[in-house]
Structure 1
Amino acid sequence: MVGMEADGKMGVHLDVSTPGYAGRLEVVEGPTGRRVRSASEKARIAAESLMPGAQVSAIARKHGATRWQIYDWRLRLRLGELVLPESQEPLFAPLLVEEAPLPRVTPKPPKSAPAKVEIAINGMVIRTTVEVEQLAQVIRAVRASR
């Protein structure tokens, strides 16, 4: 094998061309990829994720965060550890309460003069005066007695 040397263990070879060469080392300057966010920015992002229809994964992608960070910030926002800045306009719509419609009341028929009723059952006759509202009750009572 050309360019392969044994490392002292049987059957294991290292891909090095010269002894002591560890490989290529590249130094990258600038931001490390880790973002430092202020508490107000975390609160704003968490509040955005609580909006109706918002998806945590989409909010995380939009802001370069992870879903778990967003969930943590939401919890901290609920616990009061993160607070939205006072100068920022509210992110939630104001609550509107509509009054429930009043239940429909069926109008009672106007009181009329008492009606004279005569009921004949098995040779027996009952004569009485009854208000119109009570006439149905009288008829039900007579039917139930049969």
Structure 2
Amino acid sequence: MGVGVSRLEVIEGPSGRRRRTKAERARIAAESMMPGVTVADVARKHGTTRWQIYDWRKQIRKGNLVVPESVASLPVFAELMVDDSSAEAPAAVAGSVLEIAVGDVVIRAGAGVDEGQLTRAIRAARAAAS
């Protein structure tokens, strides 16, 4: 005596799995990288998991996802550390060099550096460090 299926129900509607565009994934990942924001909060806000966001962030670092210009152009602040060990005379300030450390990367810039060029260098260093 064979046992068969006497009734089969087909449930229609969303499966719970969302399909996001590359732009959406990049925007959500970029949002999670903003100062003072936690990945867990962003994941809850957008109905995804922390691990998914970490994966999208990794894809941004590899260049598989591109952060929208509207997000990339937002100012991001870095910690400022002053080294008091070498007291310089005020006359030396005019020819001073600005040093910015981002992770293991140190960016040195003279007083007349172009702001756009410095911004691009900092963004590149941040992308490599994260």
Instruction: Describe how 1:129-140 pairs up with structure 2 within 5 A.
Output: none
- Corresponding position: 1:81 with 2:97: no
- CA pair 89-45 structure 1, distance change in 2 beyond 3 A: closer
**1:93 partner letter:** P
Q: 3-state DSSP class of the match of 2:53?
A: helix
Aligned partner of 1:90 in structure 2 is 72
- Corresponding position: 1:35 with 2:18: yes
User: What 5-or-longer segments of structure 2 have no aligned partner?
Assistant: 90-130
- TM-superposed CA distance for 1:46, in Å, is 0.4
Higher helix fraction (1 or 2)? 2
2: CA distance between counterparts of 1:94 and 1:54? 12
2: CA distance between counterparts of 1:32 and 1:85? 29
Q: TM-score, normalised by structure 2?
A: 0.50
Higher strand fraction (1 or 2)? 1
Q: 3-state DSSP class of the match of 1:60?
A: helix
- CA pair 35-93 structure 1, distance change in 2 beyond 3 A: same
Match for 1:61 among 44, 48, 56? 44
Q: Does structure 1 conserve the Cα–Cα contact (< 8 Å) formed by 2:34 and 2:76? A: no
1: CA distance between counterparts of 2:30 and 2:48? 14
Number of equivalenced pairs: 85
Q: TM-score, normalised by structure 1?
A: 0.45
Q: Which runs of 4+ in 1 moved over 6 A?
A: 21-24
2: CA distance between counterparts of 1:26 and 1:84? 43
- What's the Cα RMSD here? 3.3
- CA pair 29-73 structure 1, distance change in 2 beyond 3 A: same
- TM-superposed CA distance for 1:69, in Å, is 0.3
2: CA distance between counterparts of 1:52 and 1:23? 57
Q: Does structure 1 conserve the Cα–Cα contact (< 8 Å) formed by 2:28 and 2:53? A: yes
Aligned partner of 1:49 in structure 2 is 32
1: CA distance between counterparts of 2:72 and 2:59? 18
Q: 3-state DSSP class of the match of 2:16?
A: coil
**2:75 partner letter:** A
